[in-house]
Amino acid sequence: EVRLVESGGGLVQSGGSLRLSCVASGFTFERYVIGWFRQAPGKEREAVSFISPGGGATYYSDSAKARFTISSDNAKSTVHLEMESLKPEDTAVYYCAASLERTAVASEFDYWGQGIQVTVSS
C-alpha cells in the first residue's frame, strides 16, 4: 500500500519557522520526484518545492526560493521542508506528493498525502 504521511504543520506567527515532513512507503522512494503543493482557501493548488531523492535535484517556486529548503533522508524515505520567514500568505493546506516524472504539474503526480494545515498569523 502506497502511503505519504505528512507531519509538522501548525500555527506560527509571521516571521516564524516550521518544518514539514513526509514519510513515504509502498514504492521505490529514490525513483520518484517528491515534494509539496499547497492550496489556500479559494485558490488553486500550487507547486511549492520538489526533490529527486535519487539524484538530489531540487525545484522551488518563486515564493519558496530563499525561504524554504527541501531535503531528503533516503534511509528513512522521508522528505523535509524547512520553512523560514513565514508570511500570512503562506497559510494553506500543504500536500506531499510523488511523481515518476520530473514535473511540477499537479495532474502528473501519482501519489498524494492527506494534507496538513499551516497557518501563519500576522
pLDDT for 45-59, tens place per residue? 999 999 999 988 999
19 closest CA partner among 67, 63, 76, 75: 67
Please determine, for residue 21, whether its predicted confidence score (pLDDT) is greater than 90: yes
| pLDDT value of position 55 | 86
Compute the average pLDDT of residues 34-44.
96
Q: What is the tally of helices (H) and strands (E) in the chain?
A: 0, 11
- Angstrom distance (rounded) from CA 73 to CA 94: 19
Please determine, for residue 17, whether its predicted confidence score (pLDDT) is greater than 90: yes
pLDDT for 69-121, tens place per residue? 999 999 999 999 999 999 999 999 999 999 999 999 999 999 999 999 999 99
